[in-house]
Amino acid sequence: MSDFDTVRAETRAAVEQAADPAALEAVRVAVLGRKGAVTDLMKNLATLAPDARRAYGAAVNALKDELTQLIETRRAELGDAALAQRLTSETVDLSLPARPEAQGRLHPISQTIDEVIAIFGEMGFSVAEGPDIEDDFHNFTALNFPEGHPARDMHDTFYLPDAADGRKLLLRTHTSPVQVRTMMNQTPPIRVIIPGRTYRSDSDQTHTPMFHQVEGLVIDETTHMGHLKGCLAEFAQAYFEVEHVPLRFRPSFFPFTEPSAEVDIGCSRKGGELKIGAGDDWLEILGCGMVHPNVLRHCGVDPGRYQGFAFGMGIERIAMLKYGIPDLRTFFDADLRWLRHYGFVPLDIPSLITGLAR
C-alpha cells in the first residue's frame, strides 16, 4: 500500500470511530495539522525530481481535500446526532397544564375579609388599618368609655406593661379604635372599612382569645340612619348572595354610638338547616349606630357640622353563617384537612362581577 493509501485508510477508520466533536477534532489535527500525516507527505516533495513534484503535490492536495471533506461530513453527522439526542431527552409535554392547580388554600377568614372589602369597595369605601397593640385612649377613652365605666370591664381586656411615656397599653378589644385613628388623620367626608384581629381574654365554645372584626365608618354632613340601613341591606344581600334579606334593628347600647342598634337578619332554621333570607327567625350579625358627638369631639371633628354612622361585626361569625362552618375553634386549629375542606382556591379574587366565592 502506498503512503497515501495508508493515510487514507487510517483516517477513514479514525473518523468513523470518533464518537463526539472533540474526538473528531483530535483526528483532524493528527491528519491535517502542522505535524499531521498529510503535512508529512508534503515534506517528501523536496526529495523528488523537479518534473515529478507537480503531480505529487497535486495528489497530496487532492488527498487533503478528500480527508477534509470526510471530516466535515462526519462533523455534521455528529452535530445532527447530538441535536436529535437533545430533542428526545428535552421534550416538553404540551398537554400538561401551564400552571398546575394550586395546592394551598386560602383560610375562610382571609376569603371573608376579601369578600367584605369587595362589597364595600363597590360602595366607595376604602380600607383602613391600625395596630393590634393599642393604648387605652384609642381603644376606650376616645370612644366615650369614661374611666371606671362598667362597659370597659365587658371587654375582658388583655393589658400589657405601660409604655415608656406612661400610656396604658393593651391588645385592642375591637376594631373601633381605628375609627378614632382615621378621624384624627383624615378630614370628612370619610368612608372606610376596617378589617383586623381583635383580642379578649375569653375562651369557650363560642369565644376565642383572638378573633376578627370588620368595622365600618361613614362621616359627612348629612349622613343619617337611613343610609346606615341601606348600606347594611346592600351588604347583607351581596354577602349572603340572596335576593332579599330582611333586617331588624333592635335598640342597644354602645358608648360610642347614639342611638345604637343591634342588627338581626331574617332566617329559617327548619329541619335543623339554617337558611338566610327565608323564614321568620332572626339571627344577630352586628352592632351599629350613629357616631356619638363625644367621639367626634375627641377626634377633632366638629359635631355641629359633621355626623355619621359606624358598625362592627365578627368575621368568624359571618363566615360560619355563609359557609356552614359549625365550630368557631376549628378556625384556629391549623388543621390541614379542615383547610382543604373549607379553604378557597388562591388567586380567585372575589368581586361582585365574577362572584364572591367559588
Binding site for ligand DAH (CB under 6 A): 174, 176, 215, 254, 257, 287-289, 310-312
Please, what is the minimum distance in Å from the beta carbon of residue 218 to ligand DAH? 11
Residue 108 or 216 with smaller CB distance to ligand DAH: 216
H or E element in which residue 54 lies: helix 50-89
- CA-nearest of 213, 239, 236 to 315 is 213
Please, what is the minimum distance in Å from the beta carbon of residue 175 to ligand DAH? 7
Question: CB–CB of 102/347 below 8 Å?
Answer: yes
Q: Give the cell for residue 341.
A: 375542606
Burial annotation 116-154 (CB, 10 A radius, 16+ → b, else e): bbbbbeeeebeebebeeebbbebbbbbbbbeeeeeebee
Residue 188 or 312 with smaller CB distance to ligand DAH: 312
Alpha carbons 220 and 191: distance in angstroms, whole number: 9
Longest dimension (CA), the chain: 128
Please, what is the minimum distance in Å from the beta carbon of residue 137 to ligand DAH? 16
Please, what is the minimum distance in Å from the beta carbon of residue 268 to ligand DAH? 26
Residue 28 or 317 with smaller CB distance to ligand DAH: 317
Residue 78 or 283 with smaller CB distance to ligand DAH: 283
Residue 196 or 350 with smaller CB distance to ligand DAH: 196
Instruction: Say if residue 195 is preceded by a cis peptide, omega within 30 of 0.
Output: no
Please, what is the minimum distance in Å from the beta carbon of residue 212 to ligand DAH? 11
Residue 60 or 319 with smaller CB distance to ligand DAH: 319
Residue nearest to ligand DAH (CB): 312
Please, what is the minimum distance in Å from the beta carbon of residue 321 to ligand DAH? 17
Alpha carbons 189 and 207: distance in angstroms, whole number: 35
